[in-house]
Amino acid sequence: MDRLNAWSPRVLSLLRIITALLFMEHGLMKLFHFPAPQPGVPDPLPTILLVAAVLEVGGGALLTLGLFTRAAAFVCSGEMAVAYFLFHARGGPWPALNGGDAAILMCWVFFYLVFAGGGAWSVDTLVRKRA
């Protein structure tokens, strides 16, 4: 188990990076229709979805880099909680049926990052080592 424990900070970084890139993709789909328009999202974006898209791209970028990880993760976790309760939960109580399973999962991964930090491979860790 010691070998696995030694890899924990690096795997935490991989969890952060992969989740952040997936999160950022949703914002890019809303704002720039990249890699394609997000299904079911109106064009032009209503204000609440425009704010969500900016948070997804900006927060996703910060989290991918591991820069201001805890603060960015806190904001992104809150955004996903709001997204679930405002948009998905009204579709019924079952996340797999209301399309909210990704929102719940991202909400909790980001909430975990508030407490765990960015892991070994993050700008936050680089800055801390130099200080």
- Whether the pLDDT of residue 67 is over 90: the answer is yes
Which residue type occupies 16? R
Percent of the chain scored above 90 by pLDDT? 96
Structure tokens at 29: 């789909």
pLDDT confidence tier of residue 116, bands split at 50, 70 and 90: very high
- Please report the pLDDT score of residue 89 as a whole number: 97
Per-residue pLDDT reduced to its tens digit, 10-52: 999 999 999 999 999 999 999 999 999 999 999 899 999 999 9
pLDDT at 93: 93
Q: What whole-number distance in Å separates Cα of residue 105 and Cα of residue 109?
A: 6
pLDDT of 131 > 90? The answer is no
- Cα dist from 113 to 22, 71, 76, whole Å: 15, 9, 10
pLDDT at 72 over 90: yes
Query: Which structure tokens are listed for 20?
Result: 């952040």
**Cα angle 49, 68, 17; round to 5:** 70
Extract the runs of DSSP E, i.e. beta strands, from the chain: none
Could you report the per-residue pLDDT of 90-105, keeping only the tens digit for each? 999 999 999 999 999 9
Q: Across the chain, what does the average pLDDT equal?
A: 97
Return the exposure string of 87-97: e unless at least 16 CB atoms fall within 10 Å of the residue's CB, then b: bbeeeeeebee
Query: What is the Cα–Cα distance from 25 to 39, expressed in whole angstroms?
Result: 13
